[in-house]
Structure 1
Amino acid sequence: MTYLVTGATGGLGGYALRHLMTMVPANDIVALARSEGKAEALCALGVEVRIADYADRESLGKAFSGVDRMLFISGAPGNHRTEHTNVVEMAVQAGVSFIAYTSFAHADQVDNFLSADHQFTEGIIADSGVAHTFLRNNWYLENEMPLLTAAMASGELVTAAGDATVGWALKREYGEAAARVLAGGRDYPEVVELSGPATTYAQLGAALAEATGKDIAVRHLTGTNFSEALQAQGMPVQAAQGLLGVQQLIGSGDLEVTSDDFATVLGKPLTPLAQAVKEVLG
């Protein structure tokens, strides 16, 4: 059995690759990188490294040759649909028998600037006839680093998401879940909703206070007031506006998921939030 991990030089792919190495022999693993330069760090791990780009169908065809099971990590925003179509079509052509795809929380039930391309990709994978599992990842706790860092400096965690909840978990936990599904050994459903406990930003602020021993207030703002507050804390305008878009997505309830799939896949509870916050803060 040959297992391929795409995006192996990235954060999520790197975690998945290293967890997979504890589950199956290293000589059964193929790690995909976009360039020789990015592949250097992977070569020392003892796995086979192949070079391919989602935009280059010929390189994908060569990379997927002989692969049985593939972890397909979604590409960077920009040209998702064409590139993801390339991946799926070349996987089918190469005879890949199983695809685990990193999708978005409740991808088939929400409509936002992140979910649409995941809906599209889930559709083409389902239509391909290849056995698959959609790993519907909620939100990496690491994504909150800009807000957590600003809160550490100011003593105030600002949010425009109101009382909406998020299923935060650590990126390494998402990586481990992906590796477990890729390795197989048990039957997984077509969809696994990988979401941590439903948690508000007020609870995140309390976890930050617990993790650091600092007094952290949580300030609920709306619209431009949120962006202006971050700028006042020293954040660049473009970054603050980007975070506002995410906060509005969260505030609409698109990451409100209730599921025990994550702990079931891992076979253990997720890291408690305060401990996880401490970990991401280093």
Structure 2
Amino acid sequence: MTILVTAASGALGHLVIDALLARGVAPSEIVAGARTPAKADDIAERGVTIVPLDYDDAASVEAAFVGVDRVLLISGSEVGKRAAQHQAVIDAAVRAGVKQIAYTSLANVERSSLVLAPEHLATERAIAESGLPATILRNDWYAENYAANLDQAAATGVLLSATRGGRVSAAARADYAEAAAVALIGDAHIGEVYELAGDPLTYDEIAAAMGRALGRDVEHRDVSAADLRAALESAGLDAGTIDFLTGLDEGIAAGDLDLEDPTLAALIGRPTTPLVEVLRAARGSEPAS
């Protein structure tokens, strides 16, 4: 059995490789596809084969599948290009006759209003139409995304949102990576669609976790969408980023990232990582006394 992990030089891909090795998969049975192979040198040092794999380079995608039995398609980062990029990987997987394709999709993707959802749903449908044996991993939000708010929270004691009490079932990137590794080992998960999530938290609870990670009080202020947009504009963010962030909060308010589902914990065989632990790790800090 040979497993290809795409986007292996990224944060999630690295962690999937770690999880596969930790669960006993031999380095000789793993192929790491990377747009820039030099960024995967640390993986190569562990005995894993590194191959060039650029979603926009059909020849590199085709070559990466030589001798591959299973593939984890990690979704690309270029919104607007991903459906076509993913289709290239799916087509190569079909030609290679892989025994399984697993894909990192998005929580609640069939009803989600998030701007990220349409390309994920299109990819899921393309995989279904391909006839490949598949496992769909619908990841909720990454808890590490909240690390971007820590400096502001440390300086101001405030977490601003327009989420109107909506909840987010974020989990650590390592938790999702471990679930992906589990799904790729053996045949038990073929044909499954998994909604993967941590414990749902309101932004009041997220602010409290930030406070524990920082060792200071952090207050959540739930404001109107217009006030949030004004605050982001004042912070100097570009229009595209502002649209994404305000749309994200709107989706959270609508419940797009609210899941109560034990599947992730069941797959990895342990509770998901608490948000405060993720934030402390991102901050490089010890638990506050």
Tell me the TM-score normalised to structure 2 length.
0.91
Q: 1:200: Cα distance to partner?
A: 0.5
Does 2:15 correspond to 1:15? yes
Q: Percent identity?
A: 38
Alpha-carbon distance in structure 2 between the residues aligned to 1:186 and 1:54:
28
Computed over aligned residues only, the root mean square deviation of the Cα atoms, in angstroms, reads 1.8
The equivalent of 2:209 in structure 1 is 207
C-alpha distance in structure 2 between counterparts of 1:101 and 1:113, whole Å:
18
Verify the 8 A CA contact 2:133 2:190 in the aligned structure 1.
no
Equivalent pairs counted in the alignment come to 281
Q: Tell me, in whole angstroms, the C-alpha distance in 1 between the residues paired with 2:283 and 2:254.
A: 27
> Contact 2:134 / 2:190 at 8 angstroms: preserved in 1?
no
CA 1:242–1:112: 2 relative to 1, 3 Å:
closer
Kindly indicate whether residue 109 of structure 2 is the aligned counterpart of residue 107 of structure 1. yes
Whether 1:252 aligns to 2:254 is yes
Q: Is the 8 A contact 1:147 1:158 kept in 2?
A: no
Asked if structure 2 preserves the Cα contact closer than 8 Å seen for 1:160 and 1:220, the reply is: yes
How many angstroms does 1:275 deviate by? 2.3
Contact 1:34 1:51 in 2 (8 A): yes
Counterpart position of 1:51? 52
**2:192 aligned residue:** 190
Determine whether 1:40 maps to 2:68: no
> Which has the higher mean CA deviation after the structures are superposed, 221-230 or 50-59?
221-230
Tell me the equivalent position of 2:287. Answer: none
Cα distance in 1, alignment partners of residues 230 and 131 from structure 2? 49
Whole-Å separation in 2 of the counterparts to 1:195 and 1:146: 20
> Deviations 1:165-186 (Å, cap 9, x if unpaired)?
1111111111111111112364
Contact 2:135/2:192 (<8 A) preserved: yes
Structure 2 alignment gaps of length 5 or more: 285-289
- 1:44 and 1:170 map into 2 onto residues whose CA distance is 25
TM-score (norm 1): 0.93
Whether the aligned pair in 2 keeps the contact of 1:165 and 1:253 (CA below 8 Å) is yes
For the 8 Å contact 2:9–2:36, the answer to whether it is kept is: no
Looking at structure 2, the residues matched to 4 and 257 of structure 1 have their Cα atoms a distance apart, in angstroms, of 29
Quick one: which amino acid aligns to residue 9 of structure 1? Answer: S
Change in Cα spacing, 1:4 to 1:226, as seen in structure 2 (3 Å) is same
Aligned to 1:2: 2
Structure 1 residues 213, 188: closer, same or farther in 2, change over 3 A? Answer: farther
> Which whole-Å CA distance do the structure 2 matches of 1:249 and 1:140 have between them?
15
Deviation per CA, 1:23-79, whole angstroms, max 9, x where unpaired? 201111100011343343432221011112112222211110111111110112231
Which 10-residue stretch deviates more, 155-164 or 221-230?
221-230
> Cα 1:237–1:54, aligned 2, differ >3 Å: closer, same or farther?
closer
Tell me, what secondary structure is at the counterpart of 2:4? Answer: strand
Partner letter of residue 109 of structure 2?
A: A
Once the two structures are TM-superposed, the CA of residue 147 in structure 1 deviates from its matched residue by 2.4
Gapped runs of 5+ residues in structure 1? none
Q: Which residue does the alignment assign to 2:167?
A: 165
Q: Which residue of 1 aligns with 2:68?
A: 67
Which stretch has the larger CA shift, 33-42 or 248-257?
33-42
Corresponding residue of 1:223? 225
Provide the C-alpha distance between the structure 1 equivalents of 2:232 and 2:61, rounded to a whole number of angstroms.
42
